[in-house]
Amino acid sequence: MQLKDKVALITGAGSGLGLATATAFAREGARVVVNDLREAAAEAAAQGLGEGHGAVGGDVSKEAEVAAMVEATLARCGRIDILVNNAGVPDSFVPTIEQPLSHWQRLIDVHLTGTYLVSKAVAPAMMRQGGGAILNLNSIAGVLGLPVRTAYSAAKAGIGMLTRVLGCEWGPHNIRVNAVAPGYILTPLTEGLIAAGRIDPARIRRRTPMGRLGAPEDIAEAMVFLASDRARFVTGITLPVDGGYCAFGAPSDAFALDDLDPRTDRP
């Protein structure tokens, strides 16, 4: 029960990594308020967590909706101890010169501006109550250069620097600001990209020292740690959770798929 009696607002938590994080936080004793652009999805996710949890709709890229979301959470719970900026939209995977400005703007608005707006709205309450923890979703795309992922990569790199700046600015208020950078995680979105032939899982596994794609729970557990008092002296960092993907730099495969046991899909 590492998060017992804490109140956590998690954006974009109707599915995927956000829902996995909400589930882990609830397990650890937190009272979770699930946000999603689709309010019905937020409500269904909150109900799935059990009694005592809540839901709130809202678009994180719209300042008025963010203010209403935060006010509703404070009115319901009285405080916000943890904020997880998870809301996001998928990338297009098309060459930069073929990407319309509207695509660039939407990804920047949701990922980067959304993280900024919700953090800014929650921080005053955290300052009044004496502290809190803000967790942002970066990505290996914000650390490494991934062709054709222009807007997504720029937004995620911006989140990495925003995390550092806010971690330094709000440290005196006992507000810790950290980020997690997931590698390739087997979510429904990733499964769809694999099915469409836009991601080659075998190639990813060969490039990943641990030889597999991650699970949503791998990200959720890192979030639990960073949100807990066990990370009380950690702020301003981006923690890669990627099976060693960002660390590997040799001009060869990181993992030999031939070494896998076909019965377990592990070495």
Assess contact for 177 and 163: CB atoms under 8 A.
yes
In degrees and rounded to multiples of 5, residue 29 shows phi and psi of 100, 0
Beta bridge partners of 177: 134
In degrees and rounded to multiples of 5, residue 252 shows phi and psi of -160, 175
Assess contact for 162 and 115: CB atoms under 8 A.
yes
Assess contact for 42 and 36: CB atoms under 8 A.
yes
The answer for residues whose C-beta is within 8 angstroms of residue 202's C-beta and 6 or more apart is 257
Q: Which of 116, 152, 184, 245 is catalytic?
A: 152
152 is catalytic: yes
Radius of gyration of the chain (CA): 18
Assess contact for 185 and 213: CB atoms under 8 A.
yes
Q: Which long-range contacts (CB under 8 A, 24 or more apart) does 63-66 make?
A: 63/117, 66/114, 66/117, 66/118, 66/121
Helix, strand and coil content of the chain, in percent to the nearest 5, comes to: 50, 15, 35
Assess contact for 35 and 121: CB atoms under 8 A.
no
Positions annotated as catalytic residues are 152
